Amino acid sequence: MQLLRTSNQDEQFVALTRQLDDELRQRYGELQDLYTPHNRLDCIDTALLGVVEGQAVACGCFKWLDGQRAEVKRMFVHPQWRRRGYSEQLLRALESWALELGAQQLLLETGRRQPEAIALYQKLGFTPIDGYGPYVSLGNSLCMAKSLAE
C-alpha cells in the first residue's frame, strides 16, 4: 500500500470517511448520532490515504489538541482490503508524521463495539485513559493514548 499525505478535503478521503460513517451507523444505530458532531473536522492537512492498485482503500488523520498532543481520527480500511496489515501501516505512518511535527502524545477515541480497532490500538502500544474532551460523558467511548517520546 502506498501512503499519500493529503488533507481531509481530498475527494477520496471524503468518500472513504462516508463509508466509515455508514459502517458506524450500521454498528451503533441511533447511538451514532451522539458521535457525529465529533467526527466533523475543520480543514486539516494531516490526512493520509492508503492507495493500492490506484484505488484509495484506507484513510486516517490526526488533529492537534494542543502544542504537544494530537488526536487520531477517521481511521478506516475498506472491508475488501482488510486483514492485510494496512491499518497497522496507516497508524504507524500517522504516528511518525505526528512525531515529525512535534507531537509528544497521540490520543484517540473508539467505540466499545469495535474490538478489531481496540486490538489494533493495544497492539501498537495505546493504553486506556479516562475520557477527554467531548468523550468524558459518552459511556460507549473508549479513549486511549500513546506517548511518542523516545
pLDDT at 60: 97
Grid coordinates of 14: 471524503
CA gap 115, 34 in Å, rounded: 20
Give the pairing of strands 127-129 and 141-147.
antiparallel
pLDDT tens, position by position, for the chain (150 residues)?
A: 999 999 999 999 999 999 998 888 887 667 556 555 555 667 899 999 999 999 999 999 999 999 899 999 999 999 999 999 999 999 999 999 999 999 999 999 998 888 999 999 999 999 999 998 888 877 788 999 999 986
Residue 43 is predicted with a pLDDT of 85
User: In the prediction, which pLDDT does 139 show?
Assistant: 74
Element (H, E) at 92: helix 86-100
